A and B are shown apart, each in its own frame.
Chain A
């Protein structure tokens, strides 16, 4: 797809970078002048995807997470990629409240949040190769400016 504007960053898979990643995404998307509510939704979805890459993809071991953000008109695309262990059963992972790591007090709501807060979310994953989460959202622009 040809985006009007796009950016890619790569960062170490450590929990400190969860806040960094969502702030970068929010700052990039704010060029579209979206509503605060849309920005919060995007920040939350990015936070969920990046957290999954760190906890589940790399299981808190060393790795690199890639965050892509792009937009064309009012459609925002976010792609979060890791080269971690991959997801064995994607359908099971998508189920609300399902977590593969109950001992970590995970709510099992990560994918449900991404699906709810964005318009579309797809999961591509190959065991031993990695996971790619693609999310899109049409943002509502502030009209008073």
Chain B
């Protein structure tokens, strides 16, 4: 599992590569918390293009971050969710609280960080 961060507009973009299970979720959580705290961005975007596997531990980790971001006045979104992760997202009803977009640009526009989106 690899994790990369990027700042765009008012969002911290988290690009995860590989598998998200209970073991990796703990590592991902810690890294995101650290990066989010030191960054001046409010919103959080998960880029799941290169996620090859995810179980319900991933759902717990995303909802945990959503709650923290919300407490800081920010929004959370998921982009590029492939077939493998979409099934578990839908099963958990995650789309009801965390919107999914086709691209980072679309997510940034919808989240209201439009002016410096690109």
A51/B53 in contact, CB under 8 A: no
The contact of A51 among B29, B55, B63, B87, by CB within 8 Å, is: B55
Asked if A116 is at the interface (CB within 8 A of a chain B CB), the reply is yes
The contact of A105 among B21, B63, B88, by CB within 8 Å, is: B63
Which of B53, B56, B57, B59 has the largest number of chain A CB atoms within 10 A?
A: B56
Interface size class of A (residues with CB under 8 A): 20 to 34
A51/B64 in contact, CB under 8 A: no
Taking the closest CB of chain B, its distance from the CB of A27, in whole angstroms, is 14
User: Known contacts being A105-B61, A105-B63, is A113 close to B23, with CB within 8 Å?
Assistant: no
- Could you give 25 example pairs across A and B, Cβ below 8 Å? A15-B21, A15-B22, A15-B23, A15-B26, A19-B21, A43-B53, A44-B53, A44-B55, A44-B88, A47-B21, A47-B55, A51-B21, A51-B22, A105-B29, A105-B60, A105-B61, A106-B56, A107-B63, A108-B60, A109-B60, A109-B92, A110-B56, A112-B56, A113-B55, A113-B88
6 more A-B residue pairs beyond the given contacts A22-B21, A105-B29, A107-B57, with a C-beta to C-beta distance below 8 A: A40-B53, A43-B53, A51-B21, A51-B55, A107-B92, A112-B56
